[in-house]
């Protein structure tokens, strides 16, 4: 007996809700720095602030031990040019990383300057970052002195695309490699981050979702002086009084696609991501940017889970792909020979497809692990794939099921799985909170880190920017006094979030979520015109006026999911407003406006910002690279940076 229905059949009644019910009951917490979101960025923010000697509270929707996209693990510590094996200058590498339109030069500069220090602090906490047991002696990229395992990724440039010189004689020789990416044992990290939070006296609130930010005296745009939270097990209402708040609740949720029944939620990012932080920042009056950017969802479709086990994942380093007859197909192997290229160069995908149709390649395709040397195969399978995100369990399950990759080829679903529909979109790594060189938002007292910010990067980026935001917020709270919270704002928030508990029928959260995704698929998708986008806005406003008042939640968990829906509605509206405001098409923003077909016209080569003032939507603009000279700005803002933390046991 393990499932709910088996329990019911055995007992003749459903189990009672296992936690106390405290709908609407208030609990007040006083702190200096409140961090909302306990993923990688949030944990590092909390730890870093606490190390500055201020009081810190951390609210997390799941349990900090394994929550967030990086909770299960991470295999690549990307873009660490300050590591001792690197052959590139951190400031130069940061400039190269930011050398594309709509980049966040602030975040990548912090990543390049500080993520190696961050990694060493992870090691201080007990995280495994070196091959100390000599498991992979002889693997390419392994350094005997430091025992670091360098990954082939970004071997020549910071891009998933192949270098144009791939295949030329002497390409990517060991003595000229960048060595900017380190292979790590990231499944060890998250429980250690929680442990360090506890050791430092951070007040950790597991199962608490942030629902709103509290502005001073309840005035939108005024200093943020706290936040409200909802416990997803008890329904308790938390009121945080804080001198400063760091938002680290990541990006958008599944706004275009919800496919739980197909194969689980199957998201690449944590299933708990639902745009709460973005919605909270918006309501508090903080400016957002790049909200009009979307892209086609490639792997989080409910069908694409096999991506990880089908030789398509970023951890399949050095794995050649072969057809059903063992013939090598010209797809990148993400290895030393192509400097870690992850996606095929121009025309290659089409060439393979044509070859399949002509009979040159026979389907299906396989990852040819037996063709690899023993040590490289082990490094790919036991280190890279095992440590990557949600894949440890997949590797273990395959091993238990009898799959032996010294002998077996793993089937890939490329081509036979089909492609995502253009209507299956995602906010991806795109829009978010606008920040300055202190990672402060446009609202006083409010900071942001990780993928809460616009145009974010990966795990080590979240770690380094979280650590940075924690330091800056701690410095801020030492200079300011307590702020005054508005009781009226709290009452309004309680009315908003507890309304679904007053009903026992109507529309449940899943139906509402699905209704929202359908509206986004129809009106905010491949075909974008002013008419369609406005119809999308009307459709979502109709959902708000007709469906939201029918939302019902039978327990605190379903209430939490219902409140997530409300965040997603808000997020969707912001996206449409931003798409309407950008009267131009843009390739890097994934925005094809049929009514403004010219791609990236020079007059629109700028960031569009969006915020609320007195409830009215205000648009603004910022030039590309508004953050200035990255090296100079970083140094001007970090004269007191002391490097790697020294623990005082």
Residue numbers at the binding site for other proteins (CB under 8 A)? 1-5, 7-9, 12, 15-16, 18, 61-63, 65-68, 71-72, 187, 191, 207, 232-233, 260-267, 270-272, 303, 305-306, 309-310, 326, 366, 368, 370, 389-390, 392-394, 396-398, 400-403, 405, 407-411, 557
Residue 343 near residue 330, CB atoms below 8 Å: no
List the one residue out of 351, 523, 580, 473 whose CA is nearest residue 45.
473
Q: Which residues contact 32 (CB under 8 A, 6 or more apart)?
A: 49, 54, 55, 56, 242, 243, 244, 474, 477
Comparing CB distances to other proteins, the nearer of 48 and 266 is 266
Q: Please state, in angstroms and rounded to a whole number, the distance separating the CA atoms of residues 262 and 453.
A: 31
Nearer to other proteins, 118 or 254 (CB): 254
- Smallest distance, other proteins to C-beta of residue 641, A: 33
CB of 542 to other proteins, least distance (A): 27
Distance CA 316, CA 589 (A): 28
For 342, phi and psi rounded to 5 degrees? -105, -30
Dihedral over Cα of 113, 116, 117, 119: its sign: positive
- 228 versus 234: smaller Cβ distance to other proteins: 234
In the complex, the smallest distance separating the C-beta of residue 265 from other proteins, rounded to whole angstroms, is: 4
Which C-beta is closer to other proteins: that of 365 or that of 439?
Answer: 365
The pairing of beta strand 149-150 with beta strand 56-60: unpaired
Residues 47, 200: contact at Cβ < 8 Å?
yes
How far apart are the C-alpha atoms of 358 and 335, rounded to whole Å? Answer: 28
* CA gap 20, 440 in Å, rounded: 37
Q: Smallest gap, in angstroms, from Cβ of residue 487 to other proteins?
A: 31
Instruction: Tell the smallest beta-carbon distance from residue 429 to other proteins (Å).
Output: 18
Q: How far apart are CA 148 and CA 266, in angstroms?
A: 32
- Tokens 């992850």 locate to 342
Nearer to other proteins, 118 or 266 (CB): 266
Radius of gyration, CA atoms only, the chain: 24
- What ranges make up the beta strands (E) of 111-177? 149-150
- Nearest distance from C-beta of residue 271 to other proteins, angstroms: 4
Longest CA span, the chain: 73
Closest separation in Å from C-beta 575 to other proteins: 23
Judged by CB, which is closer to other proteins: 174, or 326?
326
Question: Minimum CB separation from other proteins for residue 387, in Å?
Answer: 11
Q: Between 68 and 155, whose beta carbon lies closer to other proteins?
A: 68
Which residue number, 317 or 368, has a Cβ lying nearer to other proteins? Answer: 368
Asked whether 503 and 552 are in contact (CB, 8 A), the reply is: yes
């Amino acid at each position: 007996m393990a499932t709910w229905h088996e329990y019911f059949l055995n007992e003749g009644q459903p189990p009672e809700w296992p936690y106390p019910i405290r709908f609407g009951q208030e609990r007040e917490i006083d702190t200096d720095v409140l961090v909302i979101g306990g993923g990688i960025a949030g944990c590092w923010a909390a730890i870093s602030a606490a190390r500055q000697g201020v009081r810190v509270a951390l609210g997390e929707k799941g349990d900090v031990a394994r929550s967030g996209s990086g909770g299960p693990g991470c295999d690549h510590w990307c873009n660490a040019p300050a590591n001792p094996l690197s052959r590139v200058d951190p400031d130069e590498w940061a400039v190269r990383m930011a050398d594309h339109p709509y980049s966040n030069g602030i975040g990548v500069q912090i990543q390049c300057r500080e993520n190696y220090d961050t990694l060493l602090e992870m090691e201080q906490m007990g995280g495994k970052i070196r091959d100390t047991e000599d498991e992979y002696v002889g693997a390419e990229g392994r350094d005997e002195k430091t025992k670091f395992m360098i990954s082939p990724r970004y071997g020549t440039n910071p891009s998933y695309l192949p270098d144009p010189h791939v295949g030329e004689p002497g390409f990517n020789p060991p003595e000229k490699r960048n060595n900017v990416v380190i292979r790590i044992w990231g499944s060890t990290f998250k429980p250690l981050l929680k442990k360090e939070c506890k050791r430092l006296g951070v007040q950790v609130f597991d199962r608490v979702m942030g629902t709103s930010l509290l502005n001073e005296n309840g005035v939108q745009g005024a200093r943020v002086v706290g936040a409200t939270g909802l416990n997803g097990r008890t329904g308790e209402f938390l009121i945080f009084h804080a001198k400063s708040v760091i938002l680290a609740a990541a990006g958008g949720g599944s706004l275009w696609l919800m496919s739980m029944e197909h194969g689980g939620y199957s998201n690449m990012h944590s299933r708990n991501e639902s745009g709460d932080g973005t919605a909270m920042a918006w309501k508090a009056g903080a400016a957002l940017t790049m909200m009009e950017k979307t892209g086609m969802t490639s792997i989080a479709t409910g069908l694409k889970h096999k991506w990880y086990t089908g030789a398509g994942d970023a951890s399949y380093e050095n794995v050649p792909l072969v057809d059903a007859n063992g013939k090598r197909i010209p797809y990148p192997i993400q290895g030393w020979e192509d400097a870690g290229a992850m996606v095929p160069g121009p025309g290659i995908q089409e060439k393979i497809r044509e070859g399949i149709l002509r009979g040159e390649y026979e389907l299906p395709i396989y990852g040819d692990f037996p063709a690899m040397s023993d040590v490289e195969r082990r490094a790919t399978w036991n280190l890279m794939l095992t440590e990557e995100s949600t894949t440890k369990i997949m590797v273990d399950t395959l091993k238990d099921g009898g799959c032996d990759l010294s002998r077996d080829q793993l089937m890939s679903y490329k081509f036979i799985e089909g492609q995502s529909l253009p209507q299956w979109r995602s906010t991806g790594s795109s829009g978010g909170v606008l920040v300055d060189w202190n990672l402060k938002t446009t609202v006083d007292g409010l900071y942001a880190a990780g993928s809460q910010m616009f145009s974010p990067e990966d795990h080590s980026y979240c770690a380094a920017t979280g650590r940075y935001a924690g330091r800056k917020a701690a410095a801020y709270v030492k200079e300011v006094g307590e702020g005054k919270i508005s009781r009226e704002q709290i009452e309004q928030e309680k009315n908003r979030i507890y309304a679904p508990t007053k009903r026992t029928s109507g529309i449940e959260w899943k139906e509402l979520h699905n209704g929202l995704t359908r509206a986004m698929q129809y009106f905010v998708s491949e075909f974008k015109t002013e008419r369609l986008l406005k119809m999308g806005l009307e459709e979502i406003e109709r959902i708000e006026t007709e469906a939201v008042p029918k939302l019902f939640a039978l327990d605190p968990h379903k209430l939490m999911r219902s409140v997530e829906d409300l965040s997603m509605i808000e997020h969707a509206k912001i996206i449409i407003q931003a798409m309407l405001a950008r009267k131009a098409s843009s390739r890097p923003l994934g925005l094809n406006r049929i009514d403004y077909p010219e791609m990236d016209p020079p007059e629109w080569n700028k960031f569009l910002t969006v915020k609320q003032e007195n409830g009215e939507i205000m648009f603004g603009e910022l030039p590309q690279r508004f953050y200035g000279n990255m090296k100079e700005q970083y140094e001007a803002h970090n004269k007191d940076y002391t490097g790697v933390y020294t623990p005082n046991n």
